[in-house]
Amino acid sequence: MATIKVRQNGSYLVDGDDVTLIDWNGNAYPIAKRPFALCRCGGSTNKPFCDGTHSKVGFQAAEAAVPESRE
Ligand code: FES
């Protein structure tokens, strides 16, 4: 099973051995290690991967999952 974790003020952490990351042409990116992090801030020089730039530029994002309301 694959999971994508939204990191607080950071990247998307993708975990799972069955995940393939492809570009718009359908070509796979080589994945050096798992889990791997995808850039969410737009500042990485190694897109689509996170290179840690988010912490240098002070990227902040406040989205958190909201539990479904219970009736
Ligand atoms: S989220 Fe890490 S460099 Fe963009």
Tally Cβ neighbours within 10 Å of residue 11: 23
pTM of the entire predicted model: 0.88
Q: How confident is the model at residue 62, as a pLDDT?
A: 80
Output the CA torsion sign for 50, 56, 61, 64: positive
CB 36 less than 6 A from any atom of ligand 1: no
Could you tell me what percent of the chain has a pLDDT over 70? 96
Mutate to test the pocket of ligand 1, among 4, 5, 46, 50 (most ligand atoms within 8 A of CB): 50
CB 11 less than 6 A from any atom of ligand 1: yes
Is residue 32 a contact partner of residue 51, using CB atoms and an 8 Å limit? no
Selected residue with higher pLDDT from 4 and 66: 4
Q: How confident is the model at residue 71, as a pLDDT?
A: 58
